[in-house]
Amino acid sequence: QQAPAMDYLAGLNPEQRDAVLATEGPVLVLAGAGTGKTRVLTTRIAHILNQRLAWGSQILAVTFTNKAAGEMKKRIHELVPNFDGMPWMGTFHSVSARILRQHAELVDLKPSFTILDTDDQIRLIKQLLAAENIDEKRWTARGFAGLLDTWKNRGWLPKDVPASESSVFANGRLPNLYADYQARLKTLNAVDFGDLLLECIRLFREQPDVLAEYHKRFKYMLVDEYQDSNTAQYLWLRLLAQGRPANEANICVVGDDDQSIYGWRGAEVDNILRFEKDFPGAKVVKLERNYRSTANILKAASTLIAFNEGRLGKTLHTDVAEAGEPISFTQVYDSEEEARTVGEEIEQFQRLGEPLNSMAILVRASFQMREFEERFITLGLNYRVIGGPRFYERKEIRDALAYLRLVAQPFDDLAFERIINVPKRGLGDSTVNMLTATARHQNVPLLQSTRMLVETEDLKPKQRSVLRALVAQFDDWSYRAESLPPYQLVEQILEESGYMDMLSADKSAESEGRKENLKELSRSMEEFETLGGFLEHISLVMDRDSAEASDAVTIMTLHSAKGLEYNTVFLPGWEDGTFPSQRSMDESGRAGLEEERRLGYVGITRGRKRVRISAAQNRRIHGLWQSAIPSRFIDELPPDVLDVTDRGSAYGGYSYGGGASSRFNKADPFESVYETPGWQRARAQQATRKGGGPLTIEGELVARSVDLGSQSSGFEVSDRVFHLKFGYGEVMNIEGNKLTIEFDKAGTKKVLESFVTKG
């Protein structure tokens, strides 16, 4: 019988074809974004099936998300219409879960075991800490969960944790806690997320015959986004590949060291180097032609990433003759104007025939999503949020809203039930049941029944005093609600209720994000004068049909955008402190910033036709305006592919070749303020808050925009200059848009050029 045709090879370039046809033996495809790595993997599977080298069920393909696996399946069906058996496809975790269910008894589980979510896990750890009399204020459950996660990512069982690691928590009692925790999971017939891999590894190590079964089964293994695998995942892979001598293992991994963005979760870029060592003779394929993006986008991404040290080094080029649109960089007044601008552009592209599906907004942190969501709801633009709930559906936001609802409407029992023990107040089910029973019996709301009960002896003294204090707090907040602006009220409630303390005690990665979301909530309330008005607005926003529209703009974090592509990509919030994140800037060493830069690279390379970057010049933080500085990464983009627009600066913007800013009058800063609506509101707010005096916010008014068009500065060393805050001085040194100035009074300081005028 003749071998079936291999039409699927027709569209591939020679290197890609090489990688597809080299089915036998280890293969490492190391290549930049958009060079067809994922396409190679998909075609390789199609080829194996088409050539009948294996049944579907003898192929294991590991993808970054389960959704990516689904798409790969669809594509394979298009390439090879008829084949037997579906390949095993999914994430490391989903494939591990499938394996574990088949051999559950061998790792002391029943096949029906549950996979704990974070909340369950935290509750369990809290019980353990309490049983051990460990002070939960000093050693938090979340902190412990974080350590567990780190260790599990490294593939450590309780016995493997080195003493030096374990001594940090609860005075060295940790190794036992880890063992206790695992034992407790077993009695619950449960595993946590990290266990899926770890228990699988244990299974493979302790049960050679089971491992041998999988060696026989998986004739071909493939891994996408290999640069983000962690040690446990690497061990897992290596065990599965050991059925043959290392140099004959049919394992193909594809990755890009420049897109490694999960270091904070234990990913090891070194796994790429390790691969060549552990699988000697591996065929290394480099793909250099990018099929996704325009030349301008590629140039921007390559120039940016070149600022990182210690790269494995790759080149990228495109054969497309046209450079494409420039990368736009727009400075706007604030994040509201940013959302408005993006909304306008999206509508414009839509009118030109671009489907919403082809556009995405990629943010650094999830708190940035709120402004876009609200804007799109106002515009009636369909959108979807990937990788997390919509802003107002997040847990911490719902908690905060519950407090506010209860302040505004004391009869809101659902709100009461939500927050009665959040943060923990030591109220057990029996207390809550008593409140509920009384409320029902007396036919009053819960807050009212609580008010009644705290005056009696029905409750135990401790619970009584806790509840009495809570009722008093609500009375106080209701009173304050009459006079305080809502955004201040919510901040006070979150502080006084202990909610913020609860988040501060929480050392997990999410807690920072939760705090940022709450700050964003408070910011979003600034435009409302009354609590009632705000809650009305929220109920309208939240009431929208959340059914997924078929054509919708995507909003997601840069992290979850890996592997995806869109015609138009919006990258908002490129300001120091937002992107790169404050945390990465505070860190000593370059690792944090380099990971942020890789995120920037991932973001830019998601774009096919256009990339639109923006930065707000001002952020509201606790009701005060603070000026923000454009991301340092902007300085690292090649000026010749950058098109800079300034929509936000108050006056005297630099003229970028006759851009919008040139019409501002430099002579009189206070008369010719560029009045954007955001600016008008800011001014109005400022006036009411500061008693109508002169505008005292420094920086914004006189800020010129940063000179981005050319990296050269408008200043020269030894220029005499004036800075609004530090006064007169002399330029000592110039680095891009940063000046080192020796001020007459303030000493030597490094300042941004945009805040300096020739003096």
Annotated active-site positions, please? 37-38, 224-225, 259, 606
Closest CB 38 distance from Mg ion, rounded Å: 3
For 161, list phi and psi in degrees, rounded to 5.
-70, 120
* SS3 assignment, position 253: strand
For Mg ion, the binding residue among 255, 563, 603, 653 (CB under 5 A) is: 563
Task: At 113, list the tokens.
Answer: 């075991």
Interaction between residue 63 and Mg ion (CB under 5 A): no
Interaction between residue 228 and ligand ATP (CB under 6 A): no
36 annotated binding-site participant: yes
Closest CB 43 distance from Mg ion, rounded Å: 13
For ligand ATP, the binding residue among 8, 15, 28, 37 (CB under 6 A) is: 37
Q: Which amino acid is at 419?
A: I
Contact 59, 283 (CB under 8 A): no
Contact 720, 759 (CB under 8 A): yes
Part of the chain binding ligand ATP (CB under 6 A), chosen from 7-15, 404-412, 624-632, 686-694: 7-15
**From Mg ion, ligand ATP, none, interface partner of 33 (C-beta below 5 to 8 A by class):** ligand ATP
**From Mg ion, ligand ATP, none, interface partner of 34 (C-beta below 5 to 8 A by class):** ligand ATP
State the Rg of the chain over Cα.
29
For ligand ATP, the binding residue among 6, 9, 13, 120 (CB under 6 A) is: 13
Report the DSSP beta bridge partners of residue 566. Answer: 607
Burial of 398 (0-12, 13-18, 19+ CB in 10 A): middle
Query: Is the bond into 486 cis (omega within 30 degrees of 0)?
Result: no
Interaction between residue 12 and ligand ATP (CB under 6 A): yes
Contact 64, 562 (CB under 8 A): yes
Closest CB 420 distance from Mg ion, rounded Å: 47
Interaction between residue 38 and Mg ion (CB under 5 A): yes
Closest CB 293 distance from ligand ATP, rounded Å: 9
Q: How far apart are the first and last CA of the chain?
A: 86
37 annotated binding-site participant: yes
Closest CB 386 distance from Mg ion, rounded Å: 16
Interaction between residue 256 and ligand ATP (CB under 6 A): yes
β-pairing verdict for 383-385 and 359-363: unpaired
Closest CB 16 distance from ligand ATP, rounded Å: 6
- Judged by CB, which is closer to Mg ion: 79, or 467? 79
- Judged by CB, which is closer to ligand ATP: 63, or 627? 63
Is the CA virtual torsion 521, 523, 527, 532 positive or negative? positive
Within residues 266-295, the interface with ligand ATP by CB under 6 A covers 291-292
Report in angstroms the alpha-carbon separations of 71 from 37, 63, 147, 633. Answer: 15, 10, 34, 33
Closest CB 236 distance from ligand ATP, rounded Å: 22
Contact 749, 726 (CB under 8 A): yes
In whole angstroms, give the CA distance from residue 363 to residue 502.
Answer: 26
Part of the chain binding ligand ATP (CB under 6 A), chosen from 11-19, 468-476, 517-525, 579-587: 11-19
**From ligand ATP, Mg ion, none, interface partner of 307 (C-beta below 5 to 8 A by class):** none
Part of the chain binding ligand ATP (CB under 6 A), chosen from 29-37, 233-241, 627-635, 710-718: 29-37
Place of tokens 């390789």: 44
- Judged by CB, which is closer to ligand ATP: 12, or 422? 12
Task: At 521, list the tokens.
Answer: 């909530």
In whole angstroms, give the CA distance from residue 161 to residue 427.
Answer: 36
Interaction between residue 34 and Mg ion (CB under 5 A): no
- Judged by CB, which is closer to ligand ATP: 291, or 728? 291
Interaction between residue 44 and ligand ATP (CB under 6 A): no
In whole angstroms, give the CA distance from residue 624 to residue 522.
Answer: 12
Angle at which helices 509-524 and 486-496 cross, to 10°: 150
714 annotated binding-site participant: no
554 annotated binding-site participant: no
Report in angstroms the alpha-carbon separations of 290 from 11, 491, 609, 648. Answer: 14, 49, 13, 35
**From Mg ion, ligand ATP, none, interface partner of 93 (C-beta below 5 to 8 A by class):** none
Closest CB 197 distance from ligand ATP, rounded Å: 23
68 annotated binding-site participant: no
Contact 597, 307 (CB under 8 A): yes
Report in angstroms the alpha-carbon separations of 432 from 128, 378, 409, 524. Answer: 24, 40, 20, 33
- Judged by CB, which is closer to ligand ATP: 170, or 599? 599
Q: Using CB under 5 A as the criterion, what x/- string covers residues 506-545 for binding Mg ion?
A: ----------------------------------------
- Judged by CB, which is closer to ligand ATP: 77, or 123? 77
38 annotated binding-site participant: yes
Nearest residue to 109 via CA among 229, 192, 32: 192
Q: Which residues bind ligand ATP (CB under 6 A)?
A: 11-13, 16, 31, 33-39, 256, 259, 291-292, 563, 565, 605
Binding site for ATP, residues?
Answer: 31-38
